Chain A
Amino acid sequence: MLIFAVLFPMAAGALFPLFRFKEDKSRGLYVMAVVLITSAVALPQIILGTAAREILFQITETLPIAFRLDGVGRIFAGIVAVLWPLSSLYALEYMQHEKNLDAFFSFYTICFGVTLGIACASNLMTLYLFYELMTLITLPLVMHGGSQRSVRAGLKYLYYSIGGAALAFIGLVYVIYYGGTTEFAYGGVSVFTAGQTEHNMRIGYLICFFGFGVKAAVFPLHDWLPDASVAPTPVTALLHAVAVVKSGVFAIIRITWFTFAPALLAGTFAQYIPLALCVFTIVYGCTMALKEQNLKRRLAYSTVSNLSYILFGALLMTSQGLRGGLMHMVYHAVMKITLFLCAGVYLQKGVEYVQDMRGLHRAMPVATAVFALGSLAMTGIPPLLGFGSKWALAEAAVFEGGLLPVAGIVALVISATLTAFYLIIPSVSTYVSRGVKAYAPGELSSGWKALSPLLIISLVMMFFSFWPMLLTDFITYAAAGGL
């Protein structure tokens, strides 16, 4: 059934050109049907946890394309399966007045399957395959606008991603050569922890980290992400806040915890170099966000920073740290997608820059309220969502002790402060209408298809803020290796 969940949206998306939808309505029904069916098939398996491994085919004897859901995979797949339908609904409203919608939704749906493929990958080869496919499938989505800027942003994304994948490929070769198998196993493939090849394995890991680190936007490989915010908002929201960048982070979690063992890496340069880069990126992303006046680019830099929170947790090499990282992966996906969806609503009504957000509250009461909520959550104001993950990360780091973990905590704190500045201050400004022409109440409100996903996600956010145990128990279990 996993194979179905992965392949069905890919096939349905590929068949799009055959249909040539004349009306928006029929296209919308088709898209939603495909997405909902996939989620409906995937979610029971995610929630119940079928551990059976399904092989699609073998590329060579040692390289099968196979799928399996373990704890960590279920978390990522869960995020994707829940958020995609909401984002598709939003996209249907948002893209109403654009051209080439058949091509757009074709790739959008295929991407759903590809992302699930990454989440359900049972071994590094499968993950690598779908990782490369993701780059190719998201490329037309990024370039959808068709302007010079979009094309340039898309090509930049392409080159960075292919370059990253080339480095990740080197890591894949190391794994095949030294381990014989690319299957994921919690705690690392056991043969790596023994023997004289440890130094080589660490080098291989480091190269692999930089490879997957492109999509995870680790400094200095992050530069494609702010430019990619030129894509239509449903693309940026889902792909660059949830699917693409989370795939990068997920891949790094896989190689750190499920391939190259933490026992191999902890306490060596193979841990310190990535960890130091992540700590730097946490602060760097926030600083750049503060300087940025374009709202979507500001959010993109915020993503750069937050992704390194997740990596910081995973790279502490303790299961507590991994727990913190996974929590932030889930929470950040929810919070960031909310913020991007709001930014999209603003953009549609012509508000692109932060200084234009002043006084917007009267014109868009729902969107601005949701944006304010998301800002507070992202900053980490308790009891909202962001606090829980920051706390878990700090807790894990304090238990570790050591220079880099403590530096990481300081970076987290600085980042939280800066986040308040670049998110809360604009949110507050939407409520202050001095110096701006007064809007009529509700003048710029959007339709239900755009607003309902916003509200649903906000409710989800509030729910898990107050009852996080449902998620955190499972995440703790998964971080300790549970299936």
Chain B
Amino acid sequence: MSLVQNFPFFSIFLCIFGGVVTSVLNKKAARRVTLCISAIVFLMSATVWHYTLSATGSYSFMMGHFPAPFGNEIRIGRLEAVMATLFSFIMFMTLLSGLFNLDNHAQPQKQNLFFVMVDLSLAALLVMLYTNDLFTAYVFIEIMTIASCALIMVRQNGHTLVSATRYMIMNLLASGITLLGISMLYGITGHLLMPQLKQAVSVIHQRGLYSVPLTVVVLLLTVGLSIKSALFPFHSWAPDAYGNAPPVSAAILSGLVSKGYIFLLIKIFYRVIGMDVVRSQHILEVLFVFGIAGMLIGSVSAVRQRDIRRMVAYSSVAQIGYVFMGIGMGTAAGTAAALFHMVAHAAAKPVLFISSAALTDASGDHKRFHFLHGAGYRCKAAGVSFSITAMSMVGIPLTAGFISKVRLSLAGMVLPDAYRFAVLFTLAISTLLNAVYFLHTVVSVYRKASPEAQQAVPCPLHPMTLQSKVSLVILALLTLILGVLSGPVMQSIFAGLRSFS
């Protein structure tokens, strides 16, 4: 086994270790350590991706030597590697750009706890990507939930506490449902490691035994993970949570954390239940319909928002709908498109949250649109980044969002007529709605404010540092790069999917 193959395990371990260490450091050191860790994780993941490009198939890695069925195993293929690379890069950039106003939101003595939670989130994310057994998956689901909640709660005002509590309740409920599903599955099959589970499930399915429990298992697992990823109709916690959290937390949560859950769900479909069994349960049609509903309702709600952060939050709900629509198609092309959209959204959403925070800071900390007139001139980097990622949400060519649209549409074309038109027209309506709220915001941001309003704007308490500005713009450029150079990523996704089960 080459050294590189150990890197995934090292990454996970490093994050956990870093989390432990940071708990005793002060604010500045904690920050530095976390940044270092995410940078190192990125580099290691990139190396692993490079490795998997030449290797065939995926390889498994046992962490600890507990024999089946209790062992912890991770499996690394091209798909996991590319997702890990991109996500860790995004995490790194998000931290670099989003931390400038952390002092607004968190007290200095509590900030090291924030970084602990960031490390744990990153660890959990990596585990979701790599895990090959349900036990580890569940443990880190829980870790992720708690860490996310803490990330929200770092800000100690009333709204935030309410939102965090709500988040907590919904997520714990979801975790419970997931646990129920896992235990039932263990009950039926007697396994926790994914390869063995799949074999057992296919045997069960072929023999027609336990058909009802199997359905219930699929249902529970799907519902549990869907709640956590804010799929319609389980999304009600998301706008509050994202809207009231510190911007960098919202960025991490909506950009990365939710993707981890979705990826886990895909993994369960492919590697645990098996796609043919999943199809026979007709759960995919339901996901398809919910995905479409989420796209439309998320955007419609976003249009009605008066507050830029909540608008961005509802946009997340809509974008998650895109992903589930892709998964719900049930084809490899559809799932690949959904995976690409996960990446595209992960690249764009943090930028949207952080730049909108910077714009509101530069407008006297008002979130309402009227006060944002002219903010684009007061904070140029944030304005430009917001505009670029807004274009991606709308799906202008040359951005990642356009590639997503193309992939999703092409995947939809093979479906029967009703589904095909559902996909195409929902994408069209969604594009228009996105334009209505995002591009309208861009227009507002660049409108010249009246001179009196200009005078009244106070200087921001914590203006963006040069470092933040540069990182934000680089992250925004990632959207453009993905839009123009999507080839390698898509190739890895397609190839990875083929060897995913």
Contacts and interface: CB of A to CB of B under 8 A. Distances in A.
A154 interface: yes
Nearest to A63: B406
Contacts of A100: 448
Contacts of A162: 394, 431-432, 435, 439
B428 A177 contact: no
Interface stretch (A54-62, A255-263, A455-463): A54-62
A165 to B, nearest CB: 8
18 contacts: A59-B402, A59-B484, A60-B486, A129-B398, A136-B396, A146-B447, A154-B443, A159-B436, A163-B428, A163-B431, A166-B432, A169-B405, A169-B409, A169-B428, A170-B427, A173-B409, A173-B424, A207-B424
**Main secondary structure on A side of the interface with B:** helix
Given A139-B443, A169-B427, A207-B424, 11 more contacts: A60-B486, A128-B397, A132-B397, A143-B443, A151-B447, A158-B439, A162-B431, A162-B435, A169-B428, A170-B424, A173-B409
Contacts of A174: 413
Contacts of A159: 432, 435-436
Contact of A163 (B397, B432, B447): B432
Nearest to B413: A177
Interface string A129-152: 100110010011001001000010
B397 A155 contact: no
A176 B406 contact: yes
B410 interface: yes
Contacts of A140: 446
B410 A177 contact: yes
B443 A151 contact: yes
Interface string B392-434: 0011111000110110011001000000000011011101100
Interface in B438-481: 439-440, 443, 446-448
A424 interface: no
B67 interface: no
Contact of B409 (A128, A133, A170): A170
Report, nearest first, the 9 A-B pairs whose CB atoms are least far apart. A166-B428, A162-B435, A166-B431, A173-B409, A129-B397, A177-B413, A163-B432, A170-B424, A132-B396
Contacts of A59: 397-398, 402-403, 483-484, 486
Contacts of B410: 173, 176-177
B431 A169 contact: yes
A136 B399 CA distance: 14
Contact of A155 (B429, B443, B486): B443
A60 B490 contact: yes
A167 interface: yes
**Main secondary structure on B side of the interface with A:** helix
Nearest to B450: A146
Nearest to B425: A170
Contacts of A139: 443
Interface residues of A, number: 34
B64 interface: no
A337 to B, nearest CB: 28
A418 interface: no
A176 B413 CA distance: 10
Nearest to B436: A159
A63 B410 CA distance: 13
A125 interface: yes
Contacts of B208: none
A198 B486 CA distance: 32
Nearest to A165: B431
B487 interface: yes
A173 B406 contact: yes
Contacts of A132: 396-397
A61 B487 contact: yes
Contact of A60 (B403, B413, B429, B446): B403
B153 to A, nearest CB: 39
Interface in B361-415: 391, 394-398, 402-403, 405-406, 409-410, 413
A155 B413 contact: no
Contacts of A169: 395, 405, 409, 427-428, 431
Nearest to A129: B397
B458 to A, nearest CB: 24
B340 to A, nearest CB: 11
B397 A125 contact: yes
Contacts of A61: 487
B304 to A, nearest CB: 16
A158 B396 CA distance: 13
B269 to A, nearest CB: 25
Nearest to B398: A129
A61 B395 CA distance: 19
A462 to B, nearest CB: 42
Contacts of A207: 424
Contacts of B490: 60
Interface in B154-191: none
A146 B395 contact: no
B234 to A, nearest CB: 28
A158 B438 CA distance: 12
Interface in A412-456: none
A176 B405 CA distance: 13
Interface in A83-138: 100, 125, 128-129, 132-133, 136
Contact of A170 (B391, B403, B428): B428
